[in-house]
Amino acid sequence: MAYRAQTHNIEENIHRNLKIQDTNQNNDKAKESIKPNSLSNLYRKDSDSQLSIMEEAYKSLIESVGEDSSREGLKKTPERAAKALMFFTKGYEEKIEDLLNNAIFDEDHDEIVIVKDIEFFSMCEHHLVPFVGKVSIGYLPNKRVIGLSKIARIVEMFSRRLQVQERLTKQIAVALTEAVAPAGVGVVIEASHMCMVMRGVQKLNSQTVTSCMLGYFREDPKTREEFLALIK
């Protein structure tokens, strides 16, 4: 019986290692799909030089809706709004390599690591109004782990841009895949979109849920189910 149990364990380990090898190949394909000039690599330089242009644009918008941009309450609004938008989109000024700051560590850990309910704020690129919610991220290490705070920083970097939720979900998953080459990654985002709350259909309680599963999380139902159960 002991021999059978040992043989069974060996077979399970071989099967898992083979799956990890397949997963690494899938992750390599995912990396290749992110082109150098894709949206995930946009970078903004010298944002201060753009403030005066943005202030004039906001002043024009205020006047276009019928307001007096020179009245006391609105005099500094163009400047404040320009600075606010720069902050809302500060993710364009960040690079993933600077953000990670070498916080990748060799560690022989092969169970799922999850950081869940990470709050985020982003801007819908279709209407320039916010969508807000939470992100849950899990990955299956493959001899390397990432500093936990860096996972939240990846979320912050990509959410502080003009976005759609579907793309945001995938960008986070691919960034983590590129950072630590894990056996698998899962990302789930649940968010409320002001473009559906403040205008249009005006559905106050609607929530949008998106997911991206890579590697083991896509290929192995049990791993995916475990991840989804743990983030509930």
Question: Residues with catalytic annotation?
Answer: 124-127, 165, 193, 195
- As a whole number of angstroms, the distance between CA 56 and CA 51 comes to 9
Residue 126, Cβ neighbours under 10 Å: how many?
11
How many helices, marked H, and strands, marked E, lie in the chain? 9, 7
83: β partners: none
Torsion of CA 229, 166, 26, 175, to 10 degrees: -90
Residue type, 161: R
DSSP 23-84: HHHHHHHHHHTS-TTSGGG-----GGGGHHHHHHHHHHHHHHTT--TTSGGGTTHHHHHHHH
The rounded Cα 156 to chain-centroid distance in angstroms is 7
Token pair belonging to 94: 């960040």
